[in-house]
Chain A
Amino acid sequence: MINLVWLVPLLPLLGFLVNGLGRKVLSKGLVGVIGSGTVLAGFVVSLLIFLEVRTEGFNQQIVHLFDFISVGSLKIPFAFQVDRLSALFLLVITGVGSLIHIYSTSYMHDESNEGFARYFAYLNLFVFSMLLLVLGANYVMMFIGWEGVGLCSYLLIGFWFKNPAYNKAANKAFIMNRIGDLGFLLGIFLMITQFGSVSFNDVFSQVPALGSNAGVLVAIAMLLFVGAMGKSAQLPLYTWLPDAMAGPTPVSALIHAATMVTAGIYMIARSNVIYTLAPSIQMVVAIVGLATAVFAASIALKQNDIKKVLAYSTVSQLGYMFLALGVGAYTAAVFHVMTHAFFKALLFLGSGSVIHAMGGEQDIRKMGGLKKYMPITNITFLIGCLAIAGIPGFAGFFSKDEILANAFVSSPVFYAVGLFGALMTAFYMFRLYYMTFSGTFRGTHEQEHHLHESPAAITFPLIVLAILSIVGGWVGMPEVFHVKNFLAAYLAPIFAPSAPYLHEHHLSHSMEWILMGISTVLVIVMIFWARAKYVAWKDEGVENTGLAKVLENKWYVDELYDAIIVKPLYSLSKFFQDGIEKSGIDALVNGVGKGVQWGSQQIRLLQSGQVGFYIFAMVIGMIVLLLISLFI
């Protein structure tokens, strides 16, 4: 089965080609079937691969398809690497991906035929790129996928390209990603000069020889991390992600919650040896992750757009994943990627269902009381909130707890700050939930009349994801529960190379219980606080002041970037345009033109039309030439 792994990315690619090329002739039903079917088939193949990979004693396999680049001694094959990490990501991508495809068939039904097919073509292309990213057996393959998802993200954010604001959001995402990609690319170049290869196996086998904290290693780790910062929306390159909510909601769910943004996590988890051997950069990763987690959570507290809240919560959760990577808890990071994919996709799809019912309204101040109109959405959304808040039993609890426990091992400060962020998470998620689903309806009459539960194509993925949000965490239960941690055992071979370099000191079980207890109690307190404050919230039109205003305006980060980067760049360009271009280059070019014109007007007088003079000039020329050849 593993040799057929190329089928997994090929199927979505075929779907993309068929839907993209046949967008004018295919009917919506056919497009939906092709789009969802190819990803679903990919999921089946992934599942078979996973079953093979999870058997005891499985070694990674490289499926070599053809040589992609062969320059001198540098050989970059187009090869897929199947191992436990990539198989797990395959499963998540195709699984969540196919659910979102199914969801989209209903959500996007109002689009025109052509737009519908275009949407599915982009979505399939995205899945293809993402699969390429996780399957690639070297950094260049990964980079191809990396750029592919960036492109699809651009296309999908700007899907409704007639709205200039959406186009700006798409551009922003693309440019922000490009900054990160430059770092990634430089990292790859450095790798080529240092190791002469970009294949994972070659690089990782040569890394330990360099020793811990070798300069070049630190540089590579930092450059790769810059790439991850861009793609996974970390400080300071996170601002594109909230704006990316301009795209259709299933896109937000697929790209900006479940898959694409986890590419950075995947890359660092994949390069774990490099990072383990560069502890200084690991520290940077942890601090950036933690800062992002708290920062984004604080912004989410005061946002009123249902998708913006979820977007900031995504940024925050990604921060937790980086924190886990930074403290060397690679398993915990991958675990959180998985559970986060489930509950964040669930939350986004749930919000999509709400937006659908509200006729496009996204402001939670105008919602409320949706509980009785949309029971299934209500229940699944609640499950998602419980999961992300970290209530015991739900998926988010186990993964977040593992991260926090590992952070505590590294430094209690990390734990305290991380817990603070987790409490804010619980608060803003339940603020969102209560403002949306309880209380009384605050929208217009027309909207109230229109409220309804969404069709089955929307509720089915919600139910499946809700179930996964509960049971998804059970594969990685900590040992204190006296059960086997499947995930840790499953992923152990991937992180084995870096195990010798990590300082292992386990928490005592009692300490772990205490930490767990503290976070659970505090989270429940936060939830009740949020309930008390927002369960019957009324829009009183009070302007926010002080810190709340700062939070509502997202710490003025966009304005800050505008002031320190965009504006100076504009004025610099203006200077170049007016100063250098017009009076420098233009003057030079026009001057040359004018000089030639003037000169030729003077020389024209030589053309007297008299043959004698011409012959005379010719003879003089001959004499000069002869003199030159004679004396020089």
Chain B
Amino acid sequence: MDLQLILFILLSAVAIISALGVVFSKNPVSSVLCLIVTFIAIAGHYILLNAQFLAVVHIIVYTGAIMVLFLFVIMLMNLNADIEPQKRNWMKYAGVISGGVMFLVLLAAVRDANMPALSTTSTDIGLIENLGKTLFTTYVVPFEISSILFLSAMVGAVIIGKKD
């Protein structure tokens, strides 16, 4: 058992347990905190996969910005108490069952796939220099378009959130 596998199992366990926590915790605030843990675990996976820059961006964007936004909204609305009425349990069972079936089907779909194993040697594909070159040469047009998307999302958010 090498170090990578140990780290993988550790990070995966953290990610899955905290993901379950997101779904099953009754308090929205703890859901958010569980999700942050999940994201950090995923960032760890990124580092394992030689995507260092991505890991950093991931932590900054998700954990730093998006999750804070969630938390902010929850605090703002004072939703920290569990307000969901616990009726209609069949919906929950249906959700669990269909999610599990989905999981099994997907597992069955990829189980027999024959794919190469990942090597333990590191690659420099995830370095900021290489990513920057790719982003600003091959993908410069989608990059610019995504900036427009961002702008419009921003305008949309402001308009929707405005008190009329």
**Which A residues lie at the B interface, using CB under 8 A?**
612, 616, 619-620, 622-623, 626-627, 629-630
A626 to B108, CA, bound (A): 10
Does the CB pair B91–A612 fall under 8 Å? yes
Indicate if B101 sits at the interface (CB-CB under 8 A): yes
**With A620-B98, A626-B105, A630-B109 already in contact, 12 other A-B pairs whose C-beta atoms are closer than 8 Å:** A612-B91, A616-B91, A616-B94, A616-B95, A619-B98, A619-B99, A622-B102, A623-B101, A623-B102, A623-B105, A626-B106, A630-B108
Structural contact, A630 and B105, CB atoms closer than 8 A = yes
In the complex, residue of chain B having the shortest beta-carbon distance to the beta carbon of A629: B109
B-side contacts of A620, CB under 8 Å: 98
- Cα of A381 to Cα of B98 in the assembled complex, Å: 103
Interfacial chain A residues near B101, Cβ < 8 Å? 623
With both chains docked as a complex, state the minimum distance between the C-beta of B103 and any C-beta of chain A, in angstroms. 10
A619 adjacent to B102 (CB under 8 Å): yes
Instruction: Please give the distance in Å from A613's CB to the nearest CB on chain B.
Output: 8
15 contacts between A and B (CB under 8 A): A612-B91, A616-B91, A616-B98, A619-B99, A619-B102, A620-B98, A622-B102, A623-B98, A623-B102, A623-B105, A626-B102, A626-B105, A626-B109, A630-B105, A630-B109
* Complex: A93 Cα to B106 Cα, angstroms: 87
Beyond A616-B98, A620-B98, whether A627 also contacts B91 by CB under 8 A is: no
CB distance from A80 to the nearest CB of B (A): 66
Which 3 pairs, one residue from A and one from B, show the smallest C-beta to C-beta distance? A626-B105, A619-B98, A630-B109
For A622, list chain B residues within 8 Å (CB).
102
What's the Cα separation between A151 and B43 when bound, in Å? Answer: 86
Tell me the chain B residues, 70-104 only, with Cβ under 8 Å from chain A.
91, 94-95, 98-99, 101-102
- CA–CA, A612 to B94, complex, Å? 11
Q: In the docked arrangement, what's the CA distance between A616 and B106, Å?
A: 17
Nearest B residue to A613 by beta-carbon distance? B91
**B98 contacts A627, CB within 8 Å?**
no
Q: Which residue of B lies closest to A627 (CB)?
A: B105
Interface residue tally on B, bucketed by range: 10 to 19
**Complex alpha-carbon distance, A620 and B101, angstroms:** 9
CB-CB under 8 A from B106, the residues of chain A are 626
**Cβ of B95: which chain A residues have Cβ within 8 Å of it?**
616
Beta-carbon contacts under 8 Å, B39-73 to A: none
Taking CB atoms, residues of chain B closer than 8 Å to A612 are 91
When C-beta atoms are compared, the residue in chain B nearest to A619 turns out to be B98
Min CB distance, B23 to chain A, in Å?
Answer: 14
Bound-state Cα–Cα, A629 to B102, Å:
14
Q: Which residues of B sit under 8 angstroms from A630, Cβ to Cβ?
A: 105, 108-109
Complex interface: chain B residues within 8 A of A623 (CB)? 98, 101-102, 105
The answer for the CA separation of A462 and B91 in the assembled complex, in Å, is 103
Q: Which residue of A lies closest to B95 (CB)?
A: A616
Residue of A nearest to B88 (CB): A612
Minimum Cβ distance to chain A for residue B19 (Å): 17
A605 to B109, CA, bound (A): 34
- In the complex formed, the residue of B with least CB distance to A624 is B105
Chain A residues whose C-beta falls within 8 Å of the C-beta of B91 in the assembled complex: 612, 616
By a CB distance below 8 angstroms, the chain B residues around A627 are 105
In chain B, what residue has the closest Cβ to A630? B109
- CB B89 to nearest CB in A, in angstroms, measures 13
Residue from A622, A623, A630 with most neighbouring chain B CB atoms (10 Å): A623
Residues in A whose Cβ lies below 8 Å from that of B102: 619, 622-623, 626
Query: CA–CA, A347 to B91, complex, Å?
Result: 99
Query: How many Å from the CB of B102 to the closest CB on chain A?
Result: 6
A contact residues around B94 at 8 Å (CB): 616
| Max chain A Cβ within 10 angstroms of own Cβ: one of B94, B95, B102, B105 | B105
CB contacts (< 8 Å) of A626 on chain B: these are: 102, 105-106, 109
Question: What is the bound-complex CA distance between A623 and B98, given in angstroms?
Answer: 8
Complex interface residues of chain B between 93 and 130 (CB less than 8 A to chain A): 94-95, 98-99, 101-102, 105-106, 108-109
CA distance A627 to B91 in the complex (A): 23
Query: Distance in Å from the Cβ of A608 to the closest Cβ of chain B?
Result: 12
Please, how many angstroms separate the alpha-carbon atoms of A229 and B101 in the complex? 79
Write the nearest CB–CB distance from A156 to chain B, whole angstroms: 71
B96 → A minimal CB distance (Å)? 12
Smallest Cβ distance from A78 to chain B, in angstroms?
Answer: 58
Which residues of chain A come closer than 8 Å to B105, judged between CB atoms? 623, 626-627, 630
